[in-house]
A = this chain, B = another copy of it.
Amino acid sequence: MKQYIEANKERFFEELFSLLRIPSISSDPDHKDDMVRCAGRLAELLLAAGADRAEVCPTAGHPVVFGEKILDPSYKTVLVYGHYDVQPVDPIELWKSDPFEPEIHDGAIWGRGANDDKGQLFMHLKAFEYLLSEGLLKHNVKFIFEGEEEIGSGSLAPWAREHADLLKADVILVSDTTMISDKVPSINCGMRGLSYVEVKVTGPNKDLHSGHYGGAVANPINVLCDMISSLIDKDGRITVKGFYDEVVELSREDRDMLARAPFDMDEYKEFLDIEEVKGEKGYTTLERTGIRPCLDVNGIWGGFTGVGSKTVLPSEAHAKISMRLVPNQDSETITKLFTEHFKAIAPPYVKVEVTPCHGGDGFLIPLSSDAYKAAARAMGEVYGVEPVPSRGGGSIAILADLQRILNIDPLLMGFGLERDTIHSPNESYLLQQLFRGMESIALFYQYY
């Protein structure tokens, strides 16, 4: 496919950029129209690439894009999953270029969604186009692209349940993750689940002068800090009652296998500019993100946060808190346990509210499957190195749902790298990874 890429590169960029220019931020109601626009553009690209049909399907939330090419009912069917929604761009002041005006320099494409997931799903469109145009395609291919991955995929599961027949396939092929490095390709064989909540702590019923009341009335920010601080103990373990009940402890063997993935602590710390890592006692860094759950405050706010100083004892304090889960933790159960725990530890001088935001379960992928083997062979050929199995720390909540609803295993061929800083300012995607991804996907179809 190398030559095909070379011959069509400029058109590829134009097409991908047409997606990247649409600010499809699913979490922001102001971008509702952009979501529809982006879905429409994707359907156009699907048809242009050779799909028999491509439709923008309305849901209770943002639309789902479905497309397919049915060559022969006796062929194996590949269901490609991706998402066209992107993360917000705050803090916008840290972007070196407009997040929605993509640029190419330093060997990479820069912009929100360059990697996650517009850049990665685009590889599938182009590998499909290439195979079809060259007469190499020997599979039926279905595409499903959703617009709510970054906000919990609330609409896709019901849609998939309703259209389970339409989605019948042999494997769910997904590029929405990273590999260890471009020298060490890897295939995700498991992802973490997620429980994401927002909490609100209310003290006095109005903002107070901190001089008149300070020392006598509980400050909800201080109380929120106390409560958050108590959620993780000194060994890095989460104190929510029952939190670890369903966690599967890996065998020494499994841990040894995962430990084969190369990891350089000095490089890791240098990349992040930190002196020390921190996490659950008794586990390595890769284990802490791969096979162990965790709890992070994703946002916190309360009181006066402007320029200058205001002596206020505020009425409210807020935080967004998420927990990454591992198989077999059930996301809904964990959200319930957290809510109960957080209310139970609230001292009598504040009121507490917990609002579930989104969540999903983690999952594992069998290494013995034909699909895994085909992917490993394809990537091994393109990269010149056998890929290693790894565990992803992130969550693609919907994949566990699709696995359950459709009874098909997903396969995660992710070509992102840590350097791409997805979800952060200056997201990028290396051209080399984009092109190697296309090649690997095209080869996957040949070996599957």
Q: Is the CB of B276 within 8 A of A87?
A: no
Q: Is the CB of B299 within 8 A of A312?
A: yes
Q: A218–B151 Cα gap in the complex (Å)?
A: 24
Does A4 touch B at the CB level, under 8 Å? no
A301 partner residues in chain B, CB cutoff 8 A: 300-302, 305
Q: Is the CB of B425 within 8 A of A206?
A: yes
Task: Kindly name the residue among A210, A273, A280, A424 whose own CB sees the greatest number of chain B CB atoms within 10 A.
Answer: A210
Q: Is the CB of B276 within 8 A of A300?
A: no
Q: Is the CB of B289 within 8 A of A213?
A: yes
Contact A296 to B27, CB < 8 A, known contacts A207-B425, A272-B204, A304-B320: no
Residue of B nearest to A316 (CB): B91
How many copies of this chain? 2
Residues of A within 8 Å of B, CB-based: how many? 102
CB distance from A6 to the nearest CB of B (A): 32
CB distance from A202 to the nearest CB of B (A): 9
Q: Is the CB of B423 within 8 A of A217?
A: no
Out of B272, B296, B308, name the residue touching A214 (CB < 8 Å). Answer: B296
Q: Mark A416-431, 1 if CB is under 8 A from B, else 0.
A: 0010011111000000
Q: Is the CB of A324 within 8 A of B222?
A: no
Task: List A residues 52-70 near B (Cβ within 8 Å).
Answer: none
CB distance from A110 to the nearest CB of B (A): 14
Q: Is the CB of B300 within 8 A of A299?
A: no
Task: List A residues 173-217 near B (Cβ within 8 Å).
Answer: 178, 192, 194, 196, 198, 203-217
Does A97 touch B at the CB level, under 8 Å? no
Interface stretch of the complex, out of A138-146, A335-343, A363-371, A392-400: A392-400
Does A279 touch B at the CB level, under 8 Å? yes
A239 partner residues in chain B, CB cutoff 8 A: none
Out of B275, B285, B304, B350, name the residue touching A298 (CB < 8 Å). Answer: B304
A28 partner residues in chain B, CB cutoff 8 A: 306-308
Interface stretch of the complex, out of A40-48, A225-233, A252-260, A405-413: A225-233
Q: Is the CB of A218 within 8 A of B274?
A: yes
A304 partner residues in chain B, CB cutoff 8 A: 88, 90, 298-299, 320
Task: Kindly name the residue among A221, A297, A309, A357 whose own CB sees the greatest number of chain B CB atoms within 10 A.
Answer: A309
CB distance from A284 to the nearest CB of B (A): 9
Q: A196–B358 Cα gap in the complex (Å)?
A: 38
Out of B208, B274, B277, name the residue touching A272 (CB < 8 Å). Answer: B208
Q: Is the CB of B289 within 8 A of A423?
A: no
Q: Is the CB of A310 within 8 A of B299?
A: yes
Q: Is the CB of A27 within 8 A of B349?
A: no
Q: A236–B222 Cα gap in the complex (Å)?
A: 11
Q: A22–B297 Cα gap in the complex (Å)?
A: 40
Q: Is the CB of B215 within 8 A of A310?
A: no
Q: A317–B206 Cα gap in the complex (Å)?
A: 25
A91 partner residues in chain B, CB cutoff 8 A: 207
Does A292 touch B at the CB level, under 8 Å? yes
Q: Is the CB of B313 within 8 A of A212?
A: no
Q: Is the CB of A423 within 8 A of B207?
A: yes
A324 partner residues in chain B, CB cutoff 8 A: 210-211, 214-215
Contact A296 to B207, CB < 8 A, known contacts A301-B305, A393-B213: no
Does A294 touch B at the CB level, under 8 Å? yes
Q: Is the CB of A305 within 8 A of B297?
A: no
Contact A288 to B215, CB < 8 A, known contacts A151-B308, A300-B302: yes
A318 partner residues in chain B, CB cutoff 8 A: 305
Q: Mark A263-282, 1 if CB is under 8 A from B, else 0.
A: 00000000011111111100
A210 partner residues in chain B, CB cutoff 8 A: 296, 298, 322, 324
25 contacting pairs across A/B (C-beta < 8 A):
A27-B307, A90-B310, A192-B211, A194-B211, A206-B421, A208-B272, A208-B421, A208-B423, A212-B289, A214-B295, A216-B278, A216-B285, A216-B286, A217-B279, A218-B274, A218-B277, A221-B298, A225-B225, A225-B229, A226-B229, A297-B303, A299-B302, A308-B357, A309-B322, A309-B357
